[in-house]
């Protein structure tokens, strides 16, 4: 049921009070009346209203005085002032004091109803927008970031602090540590939460395509540009642009991005018109930007522009206090999705989960928990419901003789090559197993010069 809007009418003329109140009630409003300022204030102590109709000329406390009090104490209520021709100046003054509008006496009842109708409608729209915003915040805000370790609490605290500002945020951390989740939380906890939120994975496009994705293009800018297209910078105007995998952005693009970050303006490809945008930027990477800078693969000036606020997500092994609570969270999530009872984890199984190093971080933990819910029996997760690598533990599966080159890159290159073999050369499958984008896989194959057969 739609709640009835509530109106308070304040006037010293009893007849007018009665007539107005009758008409408003007939039009579906809930009405209270007061004959002077002090009694209006008394009523407002116990009850709240959407709109107040105030007569200007009243004994004891005139309408303007009352209006000032109302605007100070009851900010949620709109006020319409009723005035005779002689007091029109006062009416104008009351507008300056925050009245929504004034209506001339003798009253034109249609005008009164129309004004009230407008306010009620505006308030309904504002309420709806507010409701949507709080729903978005609930679904994607920082409250969904699970963890009780000091590191995660610090992350959440930083998000709370930085979200309301427009400052650029750089999120770093290994794959699967929750970077995108943090980016979402920053956007949805900001005042831009109901505005566009655009995401682009910089690793997923070859250089020229990335440029046209970000900047857009004019008709005829290149072969195939048969109509104008807006880029992500423009689409995200008023909202937030999330540049994921920024460490994989080609160098020339980095220079172009820097200009947009610094000046908030750019041209579409093939265009001369300078387009200004008001976009908040969030960037994330699982790469070591300091190392990329040393290797001249990431621009220092871009890094300094991005590093105003850095949020670092530590790998899950460094915050094992978060593991049990995350386990509980994912078990509940997947059991609910599968309409199963939430299973219990035996002590033995929890021991294995806690001693496994989780190289794929929270994403890997979520996948393992999903699998465990599927395989669980009699409402229990036992060691046999965990994948072999978790059962064995990392220490046991590590080879006794280690390869000579232990740099992360060569380990990564070997691992990709192994997974490719396992997937019989199927890159979609290999990317899925590795938990990375297909395009990211292509890049890595190229970078490490991995032979595919």
Ligand X SMILES: Nc1ncnc2c1ncn2[C@@H]1O[C@H](COP(=O)(O)OP(=O)(O)OP(=O)(O)O)[C@@H](O)[C@H]1O
The residue ranges that bind ligand X (CB under 6 A) are 145-147, 173, 175-181, 286, 362-363, 366
- Nearer to ligand X by Cβ, of 185 and 275: the residue is 185
Q: What is the C-alpha R_g of the chain?
A: 31
- CB under 5 to 8 A by kind: which of ligand X, Mg ion, none does 146 bind? ligand X
CB of 279 to ligand X, least distance (A): 20
Residue with tokens 């709080």: 134
- Nearer to ligand X by Cβ, of 175 and 237: the residue is 175
Do the bridges between strand 265-267 and strand 274-276 make them parallel or antiparallel, or are there none, so unpaired? antiparallel
- Nearer to Mg ion by Cβ, of 90 and 287: the residue is 287
Alpha-carbon distance of 243 to 306, in angstroms, equals: 11
Alpha-carbon distance of 195 to 188, in angstroms, equals: 9
Region label for 432, one of left (φ > 0), alpha (ψ between -120 and 50) or beta (otherwise): alpha
- Nearer to ligand X by Cβ, of 91 and 327: the residue is 327
- CB under 5 to 8 A by kind: which of ligand X, Mg ion, none does 362 bind? ligand X
CB of 39 to ligand X, least distance (A): 54
Nearest-CB residue to ligand X?
178
Give the SS3 label for residue 103: strand
How far, in whole angstroms, is CA 140 from its chain's centroid? 6
Residue with tokens 């250089």: 207
Percent helix, strand, coil in the chain, to 5, is: 55, 15, 35
Nearest-CB residue to Mg ion?
180
Give the SS3 label for residue 241: strand
| DSSP one-letter code for 25 | H
CB of 357 to ligand X, least distance (A): 16
- CB under 5 to 8 A by kind: which of Mg ion, ligand X, none does 178 bind? ligand X
- Nearer to Mg ion by Cβ, of 333 and 363: the residue is 363
Interacting residue ranges for Mg ion, rule: CB under 5 A: 179-180
- CB under 5 to 8 A by kind: which of Mg ion, ligand X, none does 173 bind? ligand X
Q: Are 307 and 261 in contact (CB under 8 A)?
A: no
DSSP assignments along 299-354, one per residue = -HHHHHHHTTEEEEE--GGGGTTHHHHHHHHHHHHHHHHTT-PPPEEPHHHHHHHH
- CB under 5 to 8 A by kind: which of ligand X, Mg ion, none does 247 bind? none
CB of 179 to Mg ion, least distance (A): 5
- Nearer to ligand X by Cβ, of 79 and 311: the residue is 311
- CB under 5 to 8 A by kind: which of ligand X, Mg ion, none does 286 bind? ligand X
- Nearer to Mg ion by Cβ, of 216 and 360: the residue is 360
Burial of 290 (0-12, 13-18, 19+ CB in 10 A): exposed
- Nearer to Mg ion by Cβ, of 179 and 187: the residue is 179
DSSP assignments along 163-202, one per residue = TTS---EEEEESTTSSHHHHHHHHHHTSTTTTS-EEEEEG
CB of 178 to ligand X, least distance (A): 3
CB of 65 to Mg ion, least distance (A): 58
CB of 322 to ligand X, least distance (A): 7
User: Hey, what are 356's tokens?
Assistant: 């496994």
CB of 306 to Mg ion, least distance (A): 16
- CB under 5 to 8 A by kind: which of Mg ion, ligand X, none does 176 bind? ligand X
- CB under 5 to 8 A by kind: which of Mg ion, ligand X, none does 216 bind? none
Residue with tokens 């009351």: 94
């Amino acid at each position: 049921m739609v709640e009835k809007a509530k109106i308070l009418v304040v006037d010293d003329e009893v007849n007018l009070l009665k007539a107005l109140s009758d008409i408003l009630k007939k039009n579906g409003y809930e009405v209270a009346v007061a004959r002077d300022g002090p009694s209006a204030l008394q009523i407002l102590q116990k009850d709240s209203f959407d709109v107040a109709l105030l007569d200007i000329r009243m004994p004891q406390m005139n309408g303007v005085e009352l209006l000032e009090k109302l605007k100070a104490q009851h900010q949620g209520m709109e006020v319409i002032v009723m005035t005779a021709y002689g007091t029109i100046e006062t009416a104008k003054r009351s507008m300056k004091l925050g009245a929504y509008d004034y209506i001339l006496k003798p009253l034109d009842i249609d005008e009164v109803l129309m004004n009230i109708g407008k306010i009620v409608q505006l308030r309904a729209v504002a309420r709806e927008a507010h409701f949507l915003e709080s729903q978005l915040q609930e679904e994607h805000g920082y409250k969904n970031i699970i963890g009780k370790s000091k590191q995660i609490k610090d992350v959440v605290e930083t998000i709370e602090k930085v979200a309301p500002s427009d400052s650029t945020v750089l999120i770093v951390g290994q794959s699967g540590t929750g970077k995108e989740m943090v980016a979402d939380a920053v956007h949805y906890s900001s005042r831009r939460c109901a505005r566009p939120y655009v995401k682009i994975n910089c690793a997923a496009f070859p250089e020229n395509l990335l440029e046209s994705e970000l900047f857009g293009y004019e008709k005829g800018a290149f072969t195939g540009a048969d109509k104008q297209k807006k880029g992500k910078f423009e689409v995200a105007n008023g909202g937030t642009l999330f540049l994921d995998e920024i460490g994989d952005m080609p160098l020339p693009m980095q220079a172009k991005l820097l200009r947009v970050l610094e000046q908030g303006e750019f041209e579409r490809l093939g265009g001369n018109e300078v387009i200004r945008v008001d976009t908040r930027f969030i960037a994330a990477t699982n790469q070591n930007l300091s190392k990329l800078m040393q290797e001249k693969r990431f621009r220092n000036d871009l890094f300094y522009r991005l590093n105003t606020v850095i949020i670092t997500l530590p790998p899950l092994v460094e915050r094992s206090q978060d593991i049990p609570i995350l386990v509980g969270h994912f078990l509940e999530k997947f059991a609910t999705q599968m309409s199963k009872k939430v299973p219990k984890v035996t002590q033995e199984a929890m021991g294995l989960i806690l001693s496994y190093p989780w190289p794929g971080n929270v994403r890997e933990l979520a996948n393992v928990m999903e699998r465990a819910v599927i395989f669980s029996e009699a409402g229990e997760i036992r060691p046999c419901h965990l994948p072999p690598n978790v059962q064995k533990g990392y220490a046991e599966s590590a080879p006794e003789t280690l390869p000579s080159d232990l740099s992360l890159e060569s380990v990564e290159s070997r691992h990709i090559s192994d997974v490719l073999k396992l997937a019989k050369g199927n890159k979609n499958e290999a990317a899925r197993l590795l938990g990375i984008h297909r395009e990211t896989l292509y890049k890595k194959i190229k970078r490490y010069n991995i032979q595919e057969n």
